[in-house]
Chain A
Amino acid sequence: MTISIETKELSISYGETLIIKELDLKIPKGEITVFIGANGCGKSTLLRSIARLLKPKSGSVLLDGKAISKLSTKEIAKKMAILPQSPTAPEGLTVLQLVKQGRYPHQTWLRQWSEEDEKKVNDALKATRLEDLKDRPVDSLSGGQRQRAWIAMTLAQDTEIILLDEPTTYLDMTHQIEILDLLFELNEQKKRTVVMVLHDLNLACRYAHNIVAIKNQNVCAQGKPEHVINCSLVKNVFDMDCEVTMDPLFGTPLCIPYGKGRCILDKAAAVNG
């Protein structure tokens, strides 16, 4: 396994509260890694810290073996793109203008806009199927289109690693699948390393090669979903009773929570606990 990103004794705190404590984590190259965990467990904080949006309290994040604190922020931006949670574009910014911003790290005072920039922007628009919408203002798009536009910006950045903080939040099921399919294709065809935070455990199992479960300021399990996800892990991480079965379409783990609800089977009593 080739390592893309590594954290060494990484501790992150928000004010006085310690969120992540002395974490050693290796993220494999060319795979899709998904961070899962309960609300407030620090998975987004960890992703933001890896993306240098948040300074760690101590420890370091290594990118291809080099500490990101030693690299210039523009150098990092050529290797790693980050899509933060629910970004907002300035009023009136068009899709094309948004996607063009993705080329910023590749530009210098002397080299402002090149043919390569143009090509990468067109490729990104094509991959996200936004060519017909490129002159529309971002704020006039639907949620799914808007998220695609932001992803197109990170694609134009042309980095080997793409980090995404809850890219499917606020999207309906169709658009969640659309976004995840897009990222999956990107990984399959272009061998991009994708690291993201997802809330939906079942979608995480379906798309991720590598699951990182976070609990108690540290990683409590990491590996292929089919090796890692079972009832006891879900109970431990989410404090929820469930049955883990096999997804009938993909064969990946499928988590079905216990709880109340309208059971129409005979074993109603058993299901409701």
Chain B
Amino acid sequence: MLLKSSSLKLAGLLAAIILMLLLMCASVIFGYTDTNLQMAIDAFTNNNGSNEHIIIQMVRLPRALIASVVGASLAIAGVLMQTLTKNPLASPGILGINAGAGFAVVVAITLFSIDSTQGFNALAFLGAAVAAISVYVIGSVGHGGLTPMKLTLAGAAMAAMFSSFTQGLLVLNDALLDQVLFWLAGSVSGRKLETLVSVLPYIGVGWLGSLMISGKMNILAMGEDVAKGLGLNTGFIKIAIGVLVILLAGGSVAVAGPIGFVGIVVPHITRSIVGIDHRWVIPMAGVLGAILLLAADIAARYLLMPSEVPVGVMTAIIGTPFFIFIARKGFNAR
């Protein structure tokens, strides 16, 4: 399935973009309320205030956009983390970043009763940053410096800690449980477009920055010593990657809650299609991440109709077997 030449890769990327756009349309049209393409077009050009038009404009469209943006961001964050840590199992979820951001948001709701979008965002980013830095520091102490194994253990420990804290807070505040639980499972529905708009600048910087450093990531992937020898400022590039991951993962969690598995599954699929050059992997992972989350979200509407499964549960259903497959393939394969 590996596309070898640049023109094939470009064709692949364009095909993926078209598929993404089709799925965005599907996400607007399909669901519990029966609608069709003509209604969707009317909703934007000739809105008559009908139930269907309101649902399309206020519910379905934000949902499609959020699924695309969050899917793309988590997938790119996964690529960045896997290269940074040289660990094929790394992702914002596994390394505790989602859990950290999730905990911060739950603290914001339960302890400080914050419900402004800005406050929500700031805390999600703060939580992501605290988790990322703690995992990095804990993974670096001791003999041998930062190894993939230590980093993964530190991430698993931090993720477990933040999840326990989150659960503890919810037990103490069971009135808020319902409000927070759906968010915690990871969902792209029931969010307002404003939430997305408010984090879009950060996520946009995350996307652009990732594309800009993609060439340097190819050098970093050759190993620390070789990269330094080739004149790459590895200290700077690692910090840049860390900041980009925090922007992308923190922004995603603020909008959609902690959605797992997109960040780990998509980078592997992407590399099997376009190879290992990050100048292709990053844009392709973004588009494929959007596709995966859009598809998972559409499927989540039909799985237990009329009620909906949180999309985070859908990605877990897809992602868990894949995770086991990667783990079995060998930790040392890379």
Chain A interface (Cβ < 8 Å from any Cβ of B): 48, 51-53, 72-78, 81-84, 87-93, 97-98, 101-102, 104-105, 157
Contacts and interface: CB of A to CB of B under 8 A. Distances in A.
Contacts of B222: 87, 89-90, 98, 101
Contacts of B334: 90-91
Nearest to A73: B231
A48 B219 CA distance: 19
Q: Which A-B residue pairs are the 4 nearest by beta carbons?
A: A77-B231, A74-B231, A82-B229, A84-B225
22 contacts: A52-B228, A53-B225, A53-B229, A73-B228, A73-B231, A74-B231, A81-B229, A84-B226, A84-B229, A87-B222, A87-B223, A90-B221, A90-B334, A91-B276, A92-B275, A98-B222, A101-B222, A104-B219, A104-B230, A104-B232, A105-B230, A157-B230
Given A82-B225, A84-B223, A90 B230 contact: no
A101 B229 contact: no
B304 interface: no
Contacts of A90: 221-222, 276, 334
Contacts of B233: 73-74
A156 B226 CA distance: 14
Contacts of B230: 77, 101-102, 104-105, 157
Contacts, number: 60
A76 B231 CA distance: 7
Interface residues of B, number: 19
Nearest to B277: A97
Interface of B: 218-219, 221-223, 225-226, 228-233, 271, 275-277, 333-334
A91 B225 contact: no
Given A53-B225, A82-B225, A104-B219, A91 B232 contact: no
Given A87-B223, A91-B333, A104-B219, A77 B277 contact: no
B225 A101 contact: no
A177 B276 CA distance: 33
The listed residue with most B CB atoms (<10 A of its CB), out of A76, A77, A97, A104, is A104
B88 to A, nearest CB: 9
B277 to A, nearest CB: 7
A77 B333 contact: no
A83 B226 CA distance: 7
B285 to A, nearest CB: 16
Nearest to B233: A73
A101 B217 CA distance: 11
The listed residue with most A CB atoms (<10 A of its CB), out of B221, B225, B228, B231, is B231
B229 A78 contact: no
Contacts of A105: 230-231
A192 to B, nearest CB: 15
Contacts of A83: 229
A200 B223 CA distance: 27
